[in-house]
Amino acid sequence: MGKMSVNLCGIELDNPVIPASGTFGFGYEFAELYDINMLGTFSFKGTTKDPRFGNPTPRIAETPNGMINAVGLQNPGVEKVIYEELPKLKKCFNKPVMANESGFSVEDYVYTCEKVDKCEQVGWIEVNVSCPNVHGGGMSFGTSPEAAAEVTRAVKAVTTKPVIIKLSPNVTDIVAIAKACEEAGADGISLINTLLGMRIDLRTRKPVIANKMGGFSGPAIFPVAIRMVYQVAHAVNIPVIGMGGVSSAEDVIEMMLAGASAVEVGAANLVDPYACKNIIEDLPRVMEKYGIENLSDIIKGVK
């Protein structure tokens, strides 16, 4: 059997498969279904300084080959995450976890990242400057190189753990933003977050979600994600985590060939809670099929 382990910012993963933030809760919910220690790691639910109820419902709708969501970063706030959610997770997950942090100001990002940086369970901090479903924050920080770099510098100044900046695809030049984050001290880049999408119900003549527009994810965005991962991975000298429509072991291999050191799986978890388990179990077969001895050898395998 081929070797599936990869290195992400100096931390060894048993395999490159990582459930994406917002699709895996705080992990222990899925631990009731299977042993989540088989995962490389996972990125827990996006956390903000203060508790958030999120956007009004309906806020999730299926579309052909994907879904639109505008959950709006519903979470209990960073204090409850640290003192209630992480202790629950510790009972069923013995690996470092990825903390996903969001904010509405640079000060918000600094506050939450400094807090989670002190948590022993946290291995990486994934800074979300790319959420399209909240107003007055989130994606606005990820749409310009200057703003993304400002957040990166501020967070790096108060943290000791690897900081991975999660970027938005809703921009004209993803490479310029990624390079600005690298220059500001980012240890890694993750991309892509959801595309901004919208559907209209023909019967009611209203948008299918209350927020009107939301994050479009699922298999339909996979080619866009591959293109952006390829562009960024070949422009920066820090690890890239690829995501966007990944739903099979073949997709994981393709992401890694494009340049991803690890791969996040998002919407597929909401369709099938066993998606990541199935992908990991199928990876050895796909590696053998394509003559891959070590997964780490194929990163940036396409020039």
**131 is known as an active-site residue:** yes
Of the residues 113, 131, 181, 276, only one is catalytic, namely 131
Inter-residue contact 226 to 252 (CB < 8 Å): no
Q: How far apart are the first and last CA of the chain?
A: 27
Read off the DSSP letter of residue 33.
Answer: T
- Output the CA torsion sign for 60, 49, 240, 178: positive
The closest of 58, 64, 54, 24 to 41, measured between CA atoms, is 24
Inter-residue contact 242 to 229 (CB < 8 Å): yes
Inter-residue contact 263 to 286 (CB < 8 Å): no
For residue 158, what are the CA distances in angstroms to 112, 116, 161, 298?
10, 11, 10, 34
User: Which helix (H) or strand (E) covers residue 231, if one does?
Assistant: helix 222-233
Helices (runs of H) and strands (runs of E) counted in the chain:
10, 15
Q: Which amino acid is at 84?
A: E
Burial 147-170 (b: 16+ CB within 10 A, else e): bbbbbbebbbeebebbbbbbbbbb
**227 Cβ neighbours under 8 A, 6+ residues apart:** none
- Cα 213 to Cα 198: distance, rounded to the nearest angstrom: 5
| Catalytic machinery residues | 131
